[in-house]
Structure 1
């Protein structure tokens, strides 16, 4: 039976490999492909050098195309901008399927980078769905001037072009309330939280040796890396018998390199591909999501929390956003005050002193992950939204 739904996922996320945004999109793709929808991915402005042979391809049954890899400040910018918009509009024309429901799924909403594509898609008869995963008004990282201009433009575009949306997906209750006030009552709005494939069978006895404390993700200010380092050093000085392992990428990594280099008990692993990444998480004794208490951190919902819980290992998580909507303190996770070094250190020390109780908390966290963050359940919500358009 042919598909009656054709969905093009568009955004500035890595594809087919990448971190949180990529995995959110991939879980949606997996579900839609299993349910006879046709899917495509239009990746905007991939980072780094992209060989010509990698500009398009297919991954797990989904064709993808990358555009804008050559967009750089300089004399070549204007012709590169022309090619960027031409290539994106051509892709949308080629991928549009007659006599079916065509949907453009815009990760991150409307931006300077995708506005013309959204306008073109509307003219071609696509329904447009925005996936809102953050409130950029409250970004607390220091941005370069071009970065500040992009975020300011995003705010203006959000205000004037949100009406282009035929449906809106949000990742948190905060964003549901915020966008519930912004969009028309006739526009369906759906909360779809993080997702994680939970295959944990329970964690066995901890291997002898130092307790392996793990953080994996980005290194932005909202991620509370500085507070985690402070807490770890307090516990290490008091108790010993622990190591901190950091994994991931981000422009801010260099800020922490001197502290990492100065302490042999802290290891920076770098970026890991998917299979190695999940083995790395599974091998942890304790996983940490120590976000700050900023409004920006509270607006979203950390994707890594789902991946951590899915391992069945104990998780220390800051009390931000929707955390307590899904998890109970000392039952499914150890929930700490955001940015509180003493609270983080106390949680780490508790895991050192009470490994059996910590392991029980980890198993309960995996149960909650299966209950609330099942990728199939989230995919079903998206498909239901699309059918309502």
Structure 2
């Protein structure tokens, strides 16, 4: 409206423009906001995934990577100090006079990013925290430094409530959690996705192409998908299971099933290949387990699966049944490989 200040939105994230689910969530949301005349800029802090450029433009949205590949260790203390100084400078330079300046912080506070958030607040930025997980449920076996970082996420959660001018969540569980903590401004956005359907297909691929895309944590139910697929293969020989995503856990699965020729571990797949892979698949699997961590969040990839129009097998976890019924996807009970097999046979 005339007379209102324009919005200058600065995004704090880890990986950009190439990244995993959190990156894609940001991209879809920011592209929409950009279309509504919001000024958007992305600052990516200490990412690890190789990027095409450290600074550039991705689909009309400018971005800059700071401290890419730096390890927070005493051996790199000079680089670490330079990283924080560069971050402080870029945040200050991102503020616009006479605009409504807002930080969109992907994920909650932790020991690493808290200094940048404090600095932004001192500069007068409003703060939007996008919370996607409840780490009080996290129990995966990870490195000690990662466990420490997750501990700080849990311990600093009370500051998310105090410092955020708005909290964005992806599930009703998280919405209720922060309502109980006294937060009044909460917005629920379960997924963001772009339509990815192709021409009407008349037949399945040969061999049948089943796809899982995502992480390989305990909550993701990858072992259930594999067991269900291998049982399915006893009745239907011409089928392959493609699993994308790169992590230490993925390497463990690759080693465990190294003799299964129809299990294809693709690792990280670039967007130019990833979205056609989803679009051309025959079946997509999102089979999270019945765990507190899984139920607290919402499966981002489910939105991208459904956007293809292809058959989807999905477990009844989190808020899935608020949005979907048997007409939308093959809904099954979590932790049940036999139902995955049955769903594949029925398709």
Q: Provide TM-score, normalisation by structure 1.
A: 0.84
- Structure 1 residue 336 corresponds to structure 2 residue 332: yes
- Structure 1 residue 135 corresponds to structure 2 residue 131: no
Q: Any runs of at least 4 consecutive aligned residues in structure 1 with deviations exceeding 3 A, and if so which?
A: 48-51, 73-77
Question: Which has the higher mean CA deviation after the structures are superposed, 194-203 or 167-176?
Answer: 194-203
CA contact (8 A) 2:9 2:38 kept: yes
- Structure 1 residue 301 corresponds to structure 2 residue 298: yes
CA contact (8 A) 2:198 2:279 kept: no
* Cross-structure match for 1:39: 40
* Cross-structure match for 1:30: 31
CA–CA distance in structure 1, aligned partners of residues 145 and 177 of structure 2: 26
Query: SS state of the match for residue 19, structure 2?
Result: coil
CA contact (8 A) 1:206 1:285 kept: no
**1:334: Cα distance to partner?**
0.6
CA–CA distance in structure 1, aligned partners of residues 43 and 157 of structure 2: 21
**Unmatched 5+ stretches in structure 2:** none
**1:20: Cα distance to partner?**
1.0
CA–CA distance in structure 2, aligned partners of residues 301 and 184 of structure 1: 20
Q: After superposition, give the CA deviation of every residue in 1:189-233 in whole Å (9 maximum; x if it has no partner).
A: 110110211242664222463321111122222111111111111
* Cross-structure match for 1:238: 235
**1:68: Cα distance to partner?**
2.5
Q: Aligned in 2, Cα 1:73/1:121: closer, same or farther, shift over 3 Å?
A: closer
* Cross-structure match for 1:356: none
Query: SS state of the match for residue 32, structure 1?
Result: helix
CA contact (8 A) 1:132 1:171 kept: yes
**1:267: Cα distance to partner?**
1.6
* Cross-structure match for 2:58: 59
* Cross-structure match for 1:251: 248
CA–CA distance in structure 2, aligned partners of residues 160 and 3 of structure 1: 28
Q: After superposition, give the CA deviation of every residue in 1:323-354 in whole Å (9 maximum; x if it has no partner).
A: 1010002x110111111111111111211xxx
* Cross-structure match for 1:114: 113
* Cross-structure match for 2:13: 11
- Structure 1 residue 318 corresponds to structure 2 residue 319: no
- The structure 2 residue matched to 1:224, chosen from 221, 225, 244, is 221
Query: SS state of the match for residue 222, structure 1?
Result: helix
CA–CA distance in structure 1, aligned partners of residues 252 and 209 of structure 2: 23
**1:82: Cα distance to partner?**
1.8
- Let me know the Cα RMSD of the aligned residues: 2.0
- Structure 1 residue 215 corresponds to structure 2 residue 212: yes
Q: Provide TM-score, normalisation by structure 2.
A: 0.93
**1:271: Cα distance to partner?**
2.0
**Unmatched 5+ stretches in structure 1:** 352-389
* Cross-structure match for 2:77: 78
Q: Aligned in 2, Cα 1:297/1:198: closer, same or farther, shift over 3 Å?
A: same
CA contact (8 A) 2:5 2:98 kept: no
CA–CA distance in structure 2, aligned partners of residues 240 and 259 of structure 1: 21
CA contact (8 A) 2:161 2:183 kept: no
* Cross-structure match for 2:86: 87
Instruction: Give aligned pairs, total.
Output: 345
